[in-house]
Amino acid sequence: MKLAVGSDHAAYEFKMDLLKYLEEKGIEYEDLGSHSAERTDYPIWGEKVARKVAAGEVDAGLLFCGTGVGISISANKVRGIRAVVCSEPYSAAMARRHNNANILCMGARVVGPDLARMILDAFLHSEFEGGRHAKRVDLISAIEAREER
Ligand code: RB5
């Protein structure tokens, strides 16, 4: 599994901490930035990671900002992206199982490091169940397609 990872300044330390966790777990990743805690704009990093995921260059993405909200909204503007903000493991698992989410977002000002690891584990270890859920995800894609006309 390979992940694309990004954050703004508010979540820079949070991201660096979780990158250590990915290394401990032997999970490959590409850190697309930001590469410092200098003030920056979350849409830049949301788009970068989303484009990698949408292009199929990585299996999934991780995005972090202060709340996880701004960066998820940004990522969701890219076609094919289903980015979710999660503050607890149940939603992270269900976002994979039912919604086939392809980017997990978290807020560095919302969740602590231990909880973040649990949320991340729940996301990474859950698989899309397909079936009736596939039809619903296809309906989401159809909304996107209508927007592009
Ligand atoms: C930055 O202060 C903050 O607005 C940003 O990290 C994020 O929380 C936006 O949604």
Domain that residue 29 falls in: 2-147
Active site residue 9: no
**pTM recorded for the entire structure:** 0.98
Structural domains in the chain (count):
1
What pLDDT, in 10s, does the model give residues 66-119? 999 999 999 999 999 999 999 999 999 999 999 999 999 999 999 999 999 999
Average pLDDT over residues 14-23: 98
Predicted confidence (pLDDT) at residue 149 exceeds the cutoff of 80: no
Percent of the chain exceeding pLDDT 90 equals: 99
Query: Across the beta sheet with 60-65, what order do the strands follow?
Result: 28-31, 2-7, 60-65, 103-107, 83-85
65 catalytic? Reply is yes
Cα 99 to averaged position of ligand 1 atoms, centre (Å)? 25
Mean pLDDT of the chain: 98
Q: Convert the pLDDT of each residue in 28-39 to its tens digit.
A: 999 999 999 999
Of ligand 1's listed atoms, the one at least distance from the Cα of 8 is 6
Structure confidence at residue 6 as a pLDDT band (50, 70, 90): very high
**CATH code for position 28:** 3.40.1400.10
**How many Cα atoms are found within 13 Å in the side-chain-facing hemisphere of 140?**
15
**φ and ψ at residue 122, rounded to 5 degrees:** -60, -40
The predicted structure's pLDDT at residue 83: 99
Q: Which of 9, 35, 86, 98 is catalytic?
A: 98
